[in-house]
Amino acid sequence: MSGEHVEVGIGMEDRNVGPNGHGGDQAVGADGRRSVTRRALGITLERQPETSYIAGLLLDGLRGVSDDHDVLIGEDDRLFLLFHQGDGRARAYVCTGLSGQHRFAGRDGAVRFLEACAVSGYPWSEQVVTATPAGPCATYPGDDTWCAEPYVDGAVLIGDAAGHNDPIIGQGLSIAMRDARTVRDLVVEGARSADAFAAYGAERMARMTRLRFAADVMAATQAEDADNRDARRRYVNERVASMDAAVFPLILGIFAGPETIGDELLDPRLLDSIRAA
């Protein structure tokens, strides 16, 4: 962004003339889920209520644990995830249904969290259970939010300020980075009006719609409170293993990018089938 003056804080402002000769200030609101910028601009935030909760804890002391692969295991009433940070450090997450909202609350929450990390499908489970907490244990709702039009004349929202995806599929950083890159290019090219950001808003809306559905499928399969949770997991796992055309590309899209998820895959009947498994 050569030749531009950028301030980092609640938002980002371009105070100089861009390469296309357009001038004027442009605020980029990047101030998180409780965005002050969004409220000040009067931009409406839509919300899909949570169907699950996700708790996280940073761990130290994972000696002797293979860090070649990250971990995602659904077992009993929870989904366990582990992402290695190097040097025996990792971020662990446990996803539960709505009944687990306060499961890890209180002074001994971290202890109960570590106990919940004991999953039979992971050979280093014992090392995780006995690891050292390196931060607080926090629980967040598995909700999803979005803005139909995250922009007005002179201002545009990115990242969580423009709406966040259900964290069960871990897309927060990817969403924010793509938003930042797209908006950067538009600002550099001289975008200042709401009309100039309309294409970004439409692309983001389509992207978030796909991620929302993928997260709904993951939550229905792995975390929602249900008497048939094992059957739900078998239903999805068998279809992923057989590369079923209605399921495999959707799960792959979580890793390959939402643009790989076709409109035909956004079929609410899949959620009905999972829940009825």
Instruction: Read off the pLDDT of residues 152-208 as tens digits, 9 standing for 90 and up.
Output: 999 999 999 999 999 999 999 999 999 999 999 999 999 999 999 999 999 999 999
CATH architecture of residue range(s) 11-45+145-207: 3-Layer(bba) Sandwich (3.50)
Mean pLDDT in the chain? 91
Q: Is the pLDDT of residue 21 over 60?
A: no
Per-position DSSP letters for the chain, written without gaps between them: -TT-----SSEEEE-S--TTS--S-EEEE---TT-HHHHHHT---EEEPPSEEEEEEEEE--TT---SS-EEEEETTEEEEEEEEETTEEEEEEEEEGGGTTTT-STTHHHHHHHHT--TT-TTHHHHHTPEE-S--EEEE--EEE-SS-EETTEEE-GGGG----GGG--HHHHHHHHHHHHHHHHHTT--STGGGHHHHHHHHHHHHHHHHHHHHHHHHHTS--TTHHHHHHHHHHHHHTT-TTTHHHHHHHHH-GGGS-GGG--HHHHHHHHT-
In which residue ranges of the chain is CATH 3.50.50.60 found? 11-45+145-207
Distance, in Å, from the CA atom of 62 to the CA atom of 45, rounded to the nearest integer, reads 40
| In the block, residue with structure tokens 């079923």 | 244
CATH of domain 52-141: 3.30.9.100
Q: Is the pLDDT of residue 15 over 90?
A: no
Say if residues 158 and 29 touch (Cβ distance below 8 Å). yes
**pLDDT of res. 66:** 87
What is the tens place of the pLDDT at every residue in 203-259? 999 999 999 999 999 999 999 999 999 999 999 999 999 999 999 999 999 999 999
Split at pLDDT 50, 70, 90, the class of 24 is low
Give the mean pLDDT of 115-143: 95
Residue 248 main-chain phi, psi, to 5 deg:
-60, -50
pTM for the whole structure:
0.88
What is the tens place of the pLDDT at every residue in 192-206? 999 999 999 999 999
In which residue ranges of the chain is CATH 3.30.9.100 found? 52-141
Split at pLDDT 50, 70, 90, the class of 7 is very low
Angle at 106 between CA 104 and CA 112, to 5 degrees: 40
Answer positive or negative: Cα dihedral of 119, 125, 130, 136.
Answer: negative
